[in-house]
């Protein structure tokens, strides 16, 4: 089924699902892997690691600074994590153990922006989200790959998470 309100991109990453999940479950690392350049950092009052039903705030900027509160709405340890905010669209990551063409073990990571159940979809179109999200998701997956592969570890121990762990 093709639905323009479900934008999905996938990438093979040469790391275990558990390593990748730790990055996705750590709000402090969301700004490090964000391909849209809108996520600026986690609010300090939130959890260091996400779990089912967790609420966490993020500092954002899209021409102006603002804050957003997210709630984890899907959680399967090491395999699936998703969160939504007040407007209702969902950011989802699905992790599947896989092998690349050469047989190297890793994970097929699928990132999705899901606005199929959002009311007022016209506002999403007018704001340009449908045009921007495919490239933003691809950029996020590339940054996630670089982070877990060691390419971005020079950023230091962000938010208390070491070699891998993590909107």
For 103-112, how does the pLDDT look when each residue is reduced to its tens digit (9 = 90+)?
A: 999 999 999 9
The helix/strand/coil state of 102 is: coil
C-alpha 23/C-alpha 155 separation (Å) is 14
Q: What pLDDT band is residue 166 in, cutting at 50, 70 and 90?
A: very low
Radius of gyration over every alpha carbon of the chain, rounded to an integer in angstroms: 15
CA angle in degrees (0–180, nearest 5) for 1-167-13: 70
Token pair of 34, please? Answer: 């964000």
- Please report how the helices 129-149 and 17-24 are oriented relative to each other, as an axis angle in degrees rounded to 10: 120
Q: What is the DSSP letter of 122?
A: H
As a residue count, the chain comes to: 167
The mean predicted confidence, pLDDT, of the chain is 87
Q: Do 113 and 89 form a contact (C-beta atoms < 8 A)?
A: yes
Choose from 27-31, 116-120, 158-162 the range with maximum mean pLDDT.
27-31
Q: What is the mean pLDDT of residues 4-24?
A: 96
On whether the pTM is more than 0.95, the answer is no
Cβ 7 vs Cβ 137: under 8 Å? yes
**Is residue 92 within a helix (H) or strand (E), and if so which, with residue range?**
strand 90-99
Average pLDDT over residues 2-21: 93
């Amino acid at each position: 089924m093709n639905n323009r309100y479900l934008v999905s991109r996938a990438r093979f990453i040469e790391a275990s699902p558990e390593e990748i999940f730790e990055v996705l479950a750590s709000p402090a690392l969301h700004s490090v892997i964000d391909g849209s350049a809108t996520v600026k950092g986690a609010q300090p009052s939130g959890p260091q690691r996400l779990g089912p039903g967790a609420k966490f705030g993020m500092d954002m900027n899209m021409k102006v600074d603002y804050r957003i509160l997210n709630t984890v709405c899907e959680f399967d340890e090491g395999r699936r994590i998703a969160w939504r905010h007040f407007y209702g669209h969902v950011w989802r990551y699905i992790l599947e153990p896989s092998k690349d063409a050469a047989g190297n073990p890793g994970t097929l990571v699928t990132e999705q922006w899901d606005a199929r159940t959002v009311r007022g979809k016209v506002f999403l179109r007018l704001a340009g989200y449908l045009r921007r999200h495919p490239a933003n998701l691809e950029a996020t997956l590339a940054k996630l790959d670089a982070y877990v592969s060691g390419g971005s570890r020079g950023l230091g121990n962000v938010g208390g998470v070491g070699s891998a762990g993590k909107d």
